[in-house]
Amino acid sequence: MKIKYLAAALIALAGLGFTQRANAILEMTYNDGSGNSSQYLLGTVLPGQLSPPGQAARDAAMTNQLLGMTPLGSQATVSGSLFSRSFNDFGSLPAAVTTGAVLGTGILDGTTPVTVNLGSGFQYLVVAYDGPNGGVAVFNVAGLTGSVDLYRYAHPDLTTGNLIGSNTAQQGFFRMTSWTLLNPTGVPDGGTTAMLLGAALGALGVARRRLKL
């Protein structure tokens, strides 16, 4: 009986290495004044672009525009929108595609964060606030699973490129109109899985010999 519970505990411990979760609401600060960006933020677009047509295609296009910019803080105005690439160094990232995209719409007024379920994982989360008036935040959520919380309203600051979040309606703040999950990532690669499971089973063997089970 002891070995059964020990095995379950070790396998569960190995599973902790597969994914991580964001425990706090995702912030949207491009530059805090010292060249630092919010964790997970790939960049912002102020105001959000409305083309090409279709939510997934539009959000993939904005993500790819950010990906094509020089990393670590560059800004550019494209078709009247200010694109701000965050100061986060994510290394090499894949192009955004619409295959497998999950769309969220119909967000209502309220006073609580908007919760998005990442399921088994996606590369990008694109959050839009009132289209032509508000702004867009693009997050690199690779490695995150489960649910994340987002601000229901945001104020675009065109002087900095920041999106200032709030969960209550205020003057100059715009309600979230959509969110899009791009590039499903699914389960971790087989090599990582095998390594973690092997470590768990190895520890189980040591424990078994010491316990003489």
pLDDT tens digits, 141-198: 999 999 999 999 999 999 999 999 999 999 999 999 999 999 999 854 444 444 434 4
Cα 180 from Cα 83, distance rounded (Å): 18
Contact indicator for 154, 165 with CB cutoff of 8 Å: yes
Q: Domain segments of the chain: what residues?
A: 1-18+188-213, 20-186
Q: How far apart are the first and last CA of the chain?
A: 10
The residue-averaged pLDDT of 53-68 equals 97
Helix axes 2-15, 190-211, angle to 10 degrees: 150
Q: Is the peptide bond before 47 cis (omega within 30 degrees of 0)?
A: yes
Token representation of residue 120: 């088994």
pTM: 0.80
List the one residue out of 121, 126, 127 whose CA is nearest residue 142: 121
